[in-house]
Amino acid sequence: MRAVPGQMLAGRYRLTDHPEAARALAVDERTGALVLLRGLELPGLLTSGHDPDDPVPEQGERLVRRVGAVGAAAATHPRLLQGVGAFVEGELLWTVEEWTAGVPLSEQAAAGPVPPYRVAEVAADLSGALRALHEAGLAHGNLTTESVLVCEDGAALLGGLLSGVAQEALAEELGGPGGRRRYEVRATLVGPVAERWPLDGGPAGDCWALGVLMQRLVTGRSPFPDHGVPELVTAVRDGRREPAAVCGPLAPLVERLLQPDPALRPTAAQIQRELADLLAGAPEPVDEERAAGLLTVKPEGPLVPLTPRRRGRGGPGREPVAAETGPEPARPPRVPPALLGPLLVAGVFLLLVLGVAAVVLFAG
């Protein structure tokens, strides 16, 4: 992107790092808040190669107004990153969204499959954010691993609303409200991301996308072939996908979410309630160190309890301490009581035999 750290955009947003993958962090000089900027390349017919100091062309202004209207109408929710607005600078349409410390869900997904109950926690957060949007009369349309931020405490925040609106608006601006041309533009902007290609839009399309996302996280792959947009769109249309049975305890919910008929899919509110019930009955997490100890067949030395390791300040763990002592337990007898009687009789008999043998020996 044609921007560098320290550069001011729109006379308000100062970049704090190098733009990367069509995104950059910036400080809002008016509020002091940290924001995320997402850039979208605009074709020359929308910008006419205008100078940044010149007025933005009418088409660019139209896109900015459309994106800003959605941001203004969006509901406020603790699991929803708020969209601030949009602006055009050079040949880029920038969307502005609040930012908080966290890791994109895409990074966690790239590390491999995620345990089903952890996926349920993430999906519960996202369904709450979707519910707030749907009740405000909006759809998200951009639910992917790239638009979800996972905070240090594990909470999942849904972002990407305005960037998704910008992509859809640009596809319509260039290709018209429908038809082959719009499909081609949208395929270029969106790419083969299964969550972005539901058969239908609106809230039902968001719920379908959540089902795709859940199965992707649990299995580490998309339920639909996504090597290219034509193959993906055909598979979605034909219902050709990996069965949801691979999702374990989430399978019944994912199966309903991926139904072709939107009327058969649960709503965001129903998803939220179902996931809450599932998590209420979730097994307790296993302590990895304890689990590793259970796999030890025979310890190399005496078992010595350890005091808790100090956490949070980088201090070393404490040394082992001696086990608590108390009255020594009584040791079991070396000879079982049931054998004492027979052994005593055998001893007496042996003494008699030895005595008779001694008499015969000396008398002889």
pLDDT of residue 335: 53
Closest alpha carbon to 222 in 271, 269, 258, 190: 258
**Residue 306: closest CA among 327, 293, 297:** 293
* Residue-level pLDDT at 210: 98
Report DSSP letters for 212-280, one per residue.
HHHHHHHHSS-SS--SSHHHHHHHHHHT----GGGGGGGHHHHHHHT-SSGGGSPPHHHHHHHHHHHHH
Can you give the CATH number for the domain in which 138 is found? 1.10.510.10
CA angle 222, 226, 229 (to 5 degrees): 140
Side-chain half-sphere of 207: how many Cα atoms within 13 Å? 25
Note down pLDDT in tens along the chain; length 364 residues: 566 788 899 999 999 977 776 789 999 999 999 999 999 998 876 655 545 555 556 778 899 999 999 999 998 999 999 999 999 988 889 999 999 999 999 998 999 999 999 999 999 999 999 999 999 999 999 999 999 999 999 999 999 999 999 999 999 988 888 789 999 999 999 999 999 999 999 999 999 999 999 999 999 999 999 999 999 999 999 999 999 999 999 999 999 999 999 999 999 999 999 999 999 998 866 443 333 333 333 233 333 333 333 333 233 333 333 334 444 445 555 555 555 566 666 666 677 667 666 655 556 5
Tell me the residue range of the domain where 76 lies. 8-280
**Per-residue DSSP letter, 145:** G
Q: How many Å apart are CA 231 and CA 226, to the nearest integer? A: 7
> Is residue 47 in some structural domain?
yes
Integer-rounded Cα radius of gyration of the chain? 34
Say if CB 46 and CB 173 are below 8 A apart: yes
Is residue 364 in a domain?
no
In a domain, 344, yes or no: no
The angle at the Cα of 146, spanning 88 to 92, to the nearest 5 degrees, equals 15
What are the residues whose beta carbons fall under 8 Å from the beta carbon of 45, sequence distance 6 or more?
A: 59
Is there a contact between 120 and 198 (Cβ–Cβ < 8 Å)?
no
- How many whole angstroms separate alpha carbon 220 and alpha carbon 303? 39
> How many C-beta atoms surround the C-beta of residue 163 within 10 A?
27
356 inside domain: no
Q: Does some domain include residue 315?
A: no
Taking each helix axis as running N to C, give the angle between helix 202-219 and helix 268-280, from 0 to 180 degrees, rounded to the nearest 10: 30
Give the burial string for 319-345 (b: 16+ CB within 10 Å, else e): eeeeeeeeeeeeeeeeeeeeeeeeeee
pLDDT at 300: 37
Give all strands of the β-sheet with 103-104 in edge-to-edge order: 103-104, 148-150, 156-158
Amino acid, single-letter form, for residue 289: E
pLDDT of 17 reads 76
The pair of three-digit structure tokens given for residue 15, joined into one six-digit string: 């970049």
- The residue written with tokens 């019944």 in the block is 252
Residue 288 inside a domain? The answer is no
Pairing of strands 34-41, 83-89: unpaired
Alpha-carbon distance of 208 to 193, in angstroms, equals 13
pLDDT for res 179: 83
Give the burial class of 110: count Cβ atoms within 10 A of its Cβ; 0-12 exposed, 13-18 middle, 19 or more buried. Answer: exposed
For residues 78 and 84, the answer to whether their CB atoms sit within 8 Å is: no
What's the pLDDT score for residue 44?
A: 72
Q: Which of 134, 187, 137, 185 is closest to 158 using CA atoms?
A: 134
Q: Of the candidates 164, 13, 34, 39, which has an alpha carbon nearest to the alpha carbon of residue 99?
A: 34
Within 8 A by CB and 6+ apart from 256, the residues are 211, 264, 265, 266
Please give the tally of structural domains in the chain. Answer: 1
Q: Is the residue at 269 inside a domain?
A: yes
The identity of residue 283, as a single letter, is P
Classify residue 196: in a domain, yes or no: yes
Beta bridge partners of 156: 150
